[in-house]
Structure 1
Amino acid sequence: MLRVAVVGSGPSGCYTAQNLVELDSRAYVDVLDRLPCPYGLVRYGVAPDHEKIKSLQNNLRTVLEHERVRFLGGVRIGADGIPAARLLELYHAVVYCVGAATDRHLGIPGEDLPGSWSATEFVSWYSAHPDATDDLYVAGARSAVVIGVGNVAVDVARMLARGPAELSPTDMPQAALSALAASRVRDIRMVGRRGPSQARFTTKELRELGSLPDTEVTVDPAELAADPAYGDPGGLPAAQRRNIEVLRGWAARPTAEAARRIGLRFFLRPVEVLADNGRVGAVRFERTEPDGHGGVRGTGRYEDVEAQLVLRSVGYRGLPLEGLPFDAEHGTVPHLAGRVLRAGAVAPGEYVAGWIKRGPTGVIGTNRPCAKETVTSLLADTPALGARELPEDPLTALRAAGAEPVTWAGWLAIERAEAELGASLGRGVVKLPDWESLLAAARTRVGPGRP
């Protein structure tokens, strides 16, 4: 038997478990997660109105229901939890798939004013992450600025523009739905410091903004024209060329009346969030211009954009896990083909996959080859790893150490509780939004499934 712990139940963790059980019939995998619910960013990062992407949970579910895979939620590893060294005593190998758990900061004055949030916090709030803040300020805002031009920025802009009729069929928690339904935000600006040819959103996500009911998307033709590649996009990759085509179409059409407006702005670098009565009142931007080397430089010209809500979407960043080495510059764990490196040498039995391995890059599918590379390294090491006798069933040891794992049966009970909550509200499935309700559902209800 080869017993492996996979820390993290998002796509990278599930793909790692899948590769292990498919490539080695001796492998038994415990998928551990700090949260009582599986699926990671598929549950807590994909926008609730993107049902097709969220349906990926069905594929991940098949992995976690495999007879040689066991889900153990609510288990903390590292600080205030099971030490990494102890985990390695209980398993032949440990694969850390803990993602990039925090967001990057702008590092500008006023960034922490009330009404200024990271997109990560906003996404966690409307996705019912149990760690999410419960006082995210939306009600008094009339205009919002989203700093960033990637897919997450598009997601949060779109969620601000959606109406209650469009949001009610989703699994969004009731408090967030009520807050967004009552929102008075009518003017949303999505702002990038570089040009449209360098924006990171995908064309499919970009086009979706143009199909929102009663919402007008605007672009500034002068800002588009300032990008040298906009006039001649022939040398751009296909995805960027398609983005330019969409933006060119929006720039050419006449402005229409609509209840809400999403304005895409380019070549503006945030330099300060300005206060109004102690809260966010505007964002000051410096106009930038291409520097001829793929970047931008400041021009010394400034523009203040009114906003009572600011959401920064400038990337994710990995956090150090107690007991593991960490590259603070890149926000990753040092590794060689997935093998953890300590002081430049391979650490036997310790591996990484996903964003904590390669940084927050790629799409969900990128985790497949990443996980396979790590598992290939792990299985090549099995002659040494599998020779060690393990003291006991890890689940028994985890419970003895004070952990109270939420098993698959507990997760099924959470699913039923969320279905019942939705039915009581006249909606579909509605997520439970906090630790107390999740754990109560998992531990007080009896349901089918493996223990």
Structure 2
Amino acid sequence: MPHVITQACCGDASCVYACPVNCIHPTPDEPDFGISEMLYIDPSTCVDCGACVSACPVGAIVPGHRLPEEAARFADVNAGHYPDPAPTETRFPVRTDWRLPMAPIVKPAALGGATPDELRIAIVGSGPSAMYAADELLKHRQVRVTVYERLPEPFGLVRFGVAPDHLSTKTVTDLFNEIARHPNIQILLNTEIGRDVSLDELRSAHHAVLWAGGAPTDRPLQIPGVDREGVQSATSVVGWYNGHPDFAYAAPDLSAERAVVIGNGNVALDVARIFTADTDRLAPTTIDPTALAALRASNLREVVVVARRGPEHAAFTLPELIGLADGPARVWVDPAELSGVDATNIDDPTVAAKVNLLREISQRSKPAEPFIRLSFGLTPVEILGDGHASGVRFVKTGGDEESVIDAGLVLTAIGYRGRPVPGLPFDDEKGTVANVAGRVVENGEAIPGLYVTGWIKRGPTGFIGTNKTDSGETVANLLADAEAGALPRPGTAPVPA
């Protein structure tokens, strides 16, 4: 039986290059790679060799005959991504170049020309994009990498953003720890740019500075009442239950019986799932002990996740929905909210699968409390209350019918946004540092020695592994500039206070 990619897929495509028969798609050079919700194994071409299993950094690939019950749907999800082949056709040719590296990185032997004998690179941030960039840079013997991280622990959103019960996803830290053990890298924790060392000092001490600071702020919800007590961002709650030091005092008010989450991306589902989870199941995870104690005392009986658009436009991914539907979470959809949506008229198989699964959920009995309710087609217009939030007034999207959902806790989850970096040109419309393929630009010209990668480069899109190809592009350009002699010569490295 062929292997199957499951919910934990991080999208870094290591499996693609381990596969000898080209059965895993989309690949990084295919147009839908950047927007795909996961990677998929074609069961008709998989030879069951298992090469992809050891290549996957998060343990997302398993033999089909070993799929646990809660992941059984993923066999169909993988197969459903591929059309039925014609009997005499081979859909994808067998690859002969599958051992090539992930991105068009310059090979160590090719570095020459004006490249210095020791190439000193500063990376700001230690999240996935930073660590993938470090991994590519450290393939070159003359590179020395110093990572500057303002937090007391490394690895960014993998440590402080991934839900504590997604333990498989968090295993990518094993890869990052391996990178961190390389003799040519040092990671300076509790070191903030602008407080302990300036950007100018970094630039004078290194041949290049690669900013990988992510998108650390939320997109604001601009409706009346958003500043009421009992209203906060879902991001702050994620930080709180993951023990992020910036959100140690962001404990949500769990005294109410209902919470409303505005927005329905994966972060919204994560928060709803943690709020309604059996705390005994959370106890062995990486959840912060203070948050666990608060959840044990919670009065929440229902968490309503509300989307402005219909179910066919749901922002959460199919793997996350499967995790809700077939895992320990209790989830429900009002059948009336799916009326008029016909999956047979939807061309995209992933979207059709979401709608079909939502319909299946809607046909189940209403679950025991506490549970999650997924709601669609409602636009928030005001957060109600006298000082403290008491509910949200909605209008039916595209109409004028109003409704109110009573709630004592309201969370906004409408996306992340990058914030300006002092000393770097910022594209306010995109929420990114202005760049072309990772080279920081100002007035159309590249600034020598300055680079970006990750969300601050491309915006808050993709998954953990998407950063691998993104960082590969930036590093390739940095190394090309080094070989061309286009990098500034550093002075003496600063010593953080």
Normalising by structure 2, report the TM-score. Answer: 0.74
Question: What letter corresponds to residue 287 of structure 1 in structure 2?
Answer: K
Q: CA deviation at 1:133?
A: 4.3
Alignment check: 8 A CA contact 2:449 2:487 kept = no
RMSD: 1.6
Map of 1:118 onto structure 2: 233
Q: Distance in 1 between matches of 2:444 and 2:490?
A: 27
Map of 1:294 onto structure 2: none
Q: CA deviation at 1:172?
A: 1.5
Q: Give the one of 379, 391, 403 matched to 1:282.
A: 391
Q: CA deviation at 1:82?
A: 2.2
Question: What letter corresponds to residue 388 of structure 2 in structure 1?
Answer: R
Q: Distance in 2 between matches of 1:152 and 1:134?
A: 20
Q: State the Cα deviation string for residues 301-349 of structure 1 (Å, max 9, x = none).
A: 1110011111111000001111111011111011111100012110000
Q: Distance in 2 between matches of 1:205 and 1:265?
A: 16
State yes or no: 1:56 paired with 2:169. no
Q: Give the one of 12, 20, 25 matched to 2:137.
A: 20
Map of 1:32 onto structure 2: 148
Q: Distance in 2 between matches of 1:302 and 1:85?
A: 54
Alignment check: 8 A CA contact 2:203 2:490 kept = no
Alignment check: 8 A CA contact 2:206 2:491 kept = no
State yes or no: 1:267 paired with 2:377. yes
Task: State percent identity of aligned pairs.
Answer: 44
Q: Distance in 1 between matches of 2:261 and 2:490?
A: 51
Q: State the Cα deviation string for residues 226-268 of structure 1 (Å, max 9, x = none).
A: 44xx3434412x3212211211111223x24512221111000
Alignment check: 8 A CA contact 1:162 1:212 kept = no
Map of 1:170 onto structure 2: 285
Q: Distance in 2 between matches of 1:105 and 1:387?
A: 38
Map of 1:440 onto structure 2: none
Q: CA deviation at 1:207?
A: 2.2
Say which SS state the counterpart of residue 215 (structure 2) adopts. coil
Q: CA deviation at 1:144?
A: 0.5
Q: CA deviation at 1:204?
A: 2.0
Map of 1:143 onto structure 2: 258
- The runs of 5 or more residues in structure 1 that have no matched partner are 289-296, 403-451
State yes or no: 1:189 paired with 2:304. yes
Question: What letter corresponds to residue 158 of structure 1 in structure 2?
Answer: R
Distance 1:2 1:109, change over 3 A: same
Q: CA deviation at 1:385?
A: 4.9
Map of 1:225 onto structure 2: 339
Map of 1:344 onto structure 2: 444
Matches within 5 A, 1:257-336: 258-276=368-386, 278-288=387-397, 297=398, 299-336=399-436
Q: Distance in 1 between matches of 2:406 and 2:487?
A: 64
Q: CA deviation at 1:386?
A: 7.8
Matches within 5 A, 1:144-163: 144-163=259-278
Equivalent pairs counted in the alignment come to 380
Say which SS state the counterpart of residue 401 (structure 2) adopts. strand
Select the structure that is richer in helix. Answer: 1
Q: Distance in 1 between matches of 2:214 and 2:286?
A: 23
Q: Distance in 2 between matches of 1:188 and 1:123?
A: 15
Q: Give the one of 137, 151, 157 matched to 1:41.
A: 157
Distance 1:245 1:347, change over 3 A: same
Q: State the Cα deviation string for residues 276-319 of structure 1 (Å, max 9, x = none).
A: 4x21100011101xxxxxxxx3x111110011111111000001
Give every structure 1 segment of 4 or more consecutive aligned residues whose post-TM-superposition deviation is greater than 3 Å.
383-390
Q: Distance in 1 between matches of 2:402 and 2:202?
A: 53
Q: CA deviation at 1:221?
A: 2.2
Q: Distance in 2 between matches of 1:75 and 1:112?
A: 32
Q: State the Cα deviation string for residues 48-80 of structure 1 (Å, max 9, x = none).
A: 0110001111111111111111111111113x3
- The runs of 5 or more residues in structure 2 that have no matched partner are 1-117
Question: What letter corresponds to residue 11 of structure 1 in structure 2?
Answer: P
Say which SS state the counterpart of residue 85 (structure 1) adopts. helix
Say which SS state the counterpart of residue 235 (structure 1) adopts. coil
Q: Distance in 1 between matches of 2:151 and 2:224?
A: 34
Say which SS state the counterpart of residue 322 (structure 2) adopts. helix
Say which SS state the counterpart of residue 414 (structure 2) adopts. coil
Q: Distance in 2 between matches of 1:126 and 1:137?
A: 10
Q: Distance in 1 between matches of 2:216 and 2:433?
A: 13
Distance 1:315 1:125, change over 3 A: same
Alignment check: 8 A CA contact 2:343 2:352 kept = no
